[in-house]
Chains A and B, each alone.
Chain A
């Protein structure tokens, strides 16, 4: 019976998987073996792995994606936790998501206005006597804006996990004499781990291939794989090389999924 229902659940999903994931994937892998002139080749992969430029770029991408995810998590977890305790928590949650509905480019422009040499932040710094600083085109501004963009995508899953948590667990933990920190470490955090994981996935993976913010806010001082892919697809029109980098990204993502996969969880469930 489970088998049958499974098939039923899977029909539209599988259809989507085949048409919009497998087909493009095959296309990308296929293209990565061709030069601009349509010759079959392994040169693209060779170029990728032998060029210091691309390898450095890959490292850069992972490092920045890691930082973005870390900062987002550090800010979002307490926010989700505190939100969950407020009175109209669903309303506040909706209000957290609302800013994401404003176009990204416009928000980036707003940040340019806020961080610029004569912008709001610098006016404030000058006013309190610290003096104007170069904020735009620094790692700080890039990470700040990228984190800003990703925060709602992290809060939402964590909030959901917290909300589902059975409050009696906390009570039990307290009754057993655990202090706040211990309760958090041993009860709350482990129970919300699934939410944290889906948040990390929803933030880290797209962060690997950010490209617009790297230019707008980072002034191309931060170069990620997304920048290179965009350039190969849109400027050089070297779709082969662009696809090669895409394939590398996809393999990296699968590896990440394996590491953050739900091995433990599964074992517990089948006890």
Chain B
């Protein structure tokens, strides 16, 4: 009985993964098509990949895109985490809710509104559009999601720990480093990933605030839509995807490797305890 259920649950997970990866498999499959469209597969070719490597403009755009995404989510995560800690310490519920409402405004506003108002903002202060304006905008729209990811972790945190640390004479800095941050690390990482995702995917905001030759991949892809997105973009996405996949798996196993044996054992025991139930 127990075994049976375990299999069913695996089946469910496998199904979810197949669904999640189906469109990507579709894209990668057609990146090898020499027919030029994603409709009928006429023959195998690597031309689309060759086109990517010849297109230095596109490669430059990819580098810029990654740079903006990595850096903006790092800054956003830092600001957002501190913001969440600040919100957590606010005692009055009304104030907290008010701040949270403000926090979520950027999440609810359609990208077009955000983009247009950021553009007005930047040009109003006479800011030159380009890398920095795009970076700042990405930081700006990523912060709320980080706060949303970190806050629940703080609420789950044991309040008494902080009190205990304070009683033992720890100062604010020490409380932060030794107590708060370690217990909310999963939330911070989740926030970082979300912010990274938002940044990679954003088109509308970036479009409005970019300029002077700076472009991200999303903007480039959307503006190619009128002419039809060529399979070169498929090939590029396939390359980036495989690269990310290798990075993620590699990172994970290095992480695993570095884990001390003790931790590993502890983890295993824990896992067994859970799965036995």
A residues sitting closer than 8 Å to B (CB atoms) are 1-2, 4-6, 8-10, 12-13, 16-17, 19-25, 27-28, 75, 78-79, 82-83, 85-88, 90-92, 94-107, 109-111, 113-114, 118, 120, 148, 151-153, 156-157, 160-161, 163-164, 167, 170-171, 174, 194-195, 197-198, 201-202, 205-206, 208-209, 211, 225-226, 229-230, 233-234, 239, 242-243, 246, 249-250, 252-254, 257-258, 261-263, 265-266, 269
Contact = CB atoms under 8 A, between A and B. Distances in A.
Contacts of A1: 166, 172
Contact of B101 (A19, A91, A111, A254): A254
B50 interface: no
B229 A106 contact: yes
A102 B20 CA distance: 11
B194 A153 contact: yes
17 contacts: A6-B90, A13-B143, A20-B137, A21-B103, A24-B113, A25-B105, A95-B17, A99-B20, A102-B27, A103-B233, A148-B23, A164-B156, A205-B104, A226-B110, A229-B110, A242-B113, A253-B105
B13 A83 contact: yes
Interface of B: 9-10, 12-13, 16-17, 19-24, 26-27, 30, 38-39, 78-80, 82-83, 85-86, 89-90, 93, 97, 99-110, 112-114, 116-118, 120-121, 136-137, 139-141, 143, 145, 148-149, 151-153, 155-156, 159, 166, 172, 175-176, 186-187, 190, 193-194, 196-197, 200-201, 203, 217-218, 221-222, 225, 229, 233-234, 237, 240-241, 244-245, 248-249, 252, 255-256, 270-271, 273-275, 277
A249 B155 CA distance: 28
A257 B185 CA distance: 25
B12 A87 contact: no
Contacts of B90: 6
B118 A17 contact: no
Of B117, B118, B176, B277, the most chain A CB neighbours within 10 A belong to: B117
B102 A17 contact: yes
Contacts of B217: 103
A148 to B, nearest CB: 7
Residue among B112, B200, B222 with the most chain A CB within 10 A?
B112
Chain B binding surface, main DSSP class = helix
A75 B200 CA distance: 25
Nearest to A114: B26
A28 B159 contact: no
Given A82-B10, A205-B104, A250-B105, 4 more contacts: A9-B89, A110-B24, A156-B194, A253-B105
A243 B121 CA distance: 15
Given A105-B225, A110-B23, A20 B110 contact: no
Contacts of B148: 157, 198, 201-202
Contacts of A2: 89
Contacts of B197: 97, 100-101, 152
A246 B221 contact: no
B16 A75 contact: yes
A85 B273 CA distance: 11
B86 A86 contact: no
A253 B116 contact: no
Given A27-B117, A120-B26, A164-B186, A201 B155 contact: no
A164 B153 contact: yes
Contacts of A24: 109, 113-114, 117-118, 121
B233 to A, nearest CB: 7
Contacts of A90: 252, 255
A36 to B, nearest CB: 15
Contacts of A229: 110, 112-113
Contacts of B105: 21, 25, 250, 253
Contacts of B270: 167
Contact of B277 (A78, A82, A99, A171): A171
Please name the 7 residue pairs, one residue from A and one from B, whose CB atoms are nearest each other, closest first.
A13-B83, A9-B86, A110-B23, A24-B117, A20-B140, A194-B152, A253-B108
Contact of B156 (A194, A201, A243): A194
B106 A21 contact: yes
Nearest to B275: A85
Contacts of B117: 23-24, 27-28
A94 B248 contact: yes
A101 B200 contact: yes
A208 B107 CA distance: 10
B82 A9 contact: yes
B79 A96 contact: no
Given A25-B105, A209-B109, A265-B155, A110 B27 contact: yes
Nearest to A145: B23
B22 A106 contact: no
A160 B93 CA distance: 24
Nearest to A151: B20
Contact of A6 (B10, B89, B112, B149): B89
